[in-house]
Each structure stands twice: as C-alpha cells, then as structure tokens.
Amino acid sequence: MINNQAPAAPPVRDDAPPVTGSAAGRVAVGLLLLAFAGVTGLFAPLLVMASDNCFEGDARTICSVGGQQIVGTLPVAAAVVAALLTVVGMGRSGPVGRGCLLAAPCLLVLSWVVSYAIAGS
C-alpha cells in the first residue's frame, strides 16, 4: 500500500545572520598587520643609510637633512598609527572595524613607498 500523503516539509527560514567575517578572522588579520607594523617600524628607518654615499653639494633628497628626517621618522610614526588602527579594527566589527583594518596596511605601504622614493632619489 502506498501512502500518498507524505508529511509536509518544514518551511525554510531565512533568519540566519549575514556572513561578514568572524572575530577569529579579524584577530588573525590583526596579528599579521601588527607584525607588518613592527617590521616597518624597525627596519624602514634603516633606509637612512642610503645617505652614506652622499658628498658635499649632492642634490639628492636623501642627502638633505629634511629627507633623512622624513625617511627616519615617517615609518615609525606610520607603524604606531597603523598599530592603533589595527587594535581598533580587531576590537570593532562592522564598517568601522573593516575600515580600520583596511587603512592600516595602506598607511604602512605608503610609508614604505615614500621612504624608498626619497632614499632612491
């Protein structure tokens, strides 16, 4: 005998929260960014040594006092600000947290680019 009256399937609910990233993902990305900020703060200022081959009257930017100060302090300041942005991004969810976690590497890369541009000129 065949039963033509199968039990009705339960209705499908769409009450699941949207997937926007997890706290573990924010922490993992944050730890990588903190490591990048540490490397930037420790090693990028060493680009000042590009001024070792400067001689009197050299017109390159790295041979000026201002250029050397920028190359020496910009990466350290960028690393501190990026570390603060990373900590805020790790602690907050939503657009503010994502914005902070996106701004931190942009700031660090910008400091490397500016430092290399001055050291290489």
Residue labelled with tokens 């573990």: 24
- Report how many domains make up the chain: 1
The range of the structural domain enclosing residue 39 comes to 24-50+58-120
Residue 13 maps to a domain = no
Residue 116 maps to a domain = yes
Residue 106 maps to a domain = yes
| CA of residue 2 relative to chain centroid, distance | 64
Q: Tell me what pLDDT residue 35 has.
A: 96
Q: Tell me what pLDDT residue 24 has.
A: 82
Residue 74 maps to a domain = yes
Residue 98 maps to a domain = yes
| CA of residue 20 relative to chain centroid, distance | 19
Q: What is the Cα–Cα distance from 9 to 3, expressed in whole angstroms?
A: 16
In the predicted model, what is the mean pLDDT of residues 84-112?
Answer: 93
The pTM assigned to this predicted structure is 0.76
Q: What is the Cα–Cα distance from 111 to 71, expressed in whole angstroms?
A: 9
CA distances to 48, 67, 82, 102, 106 from 99, rounded to whole Å, are: 31, 31, 12, 5, 11
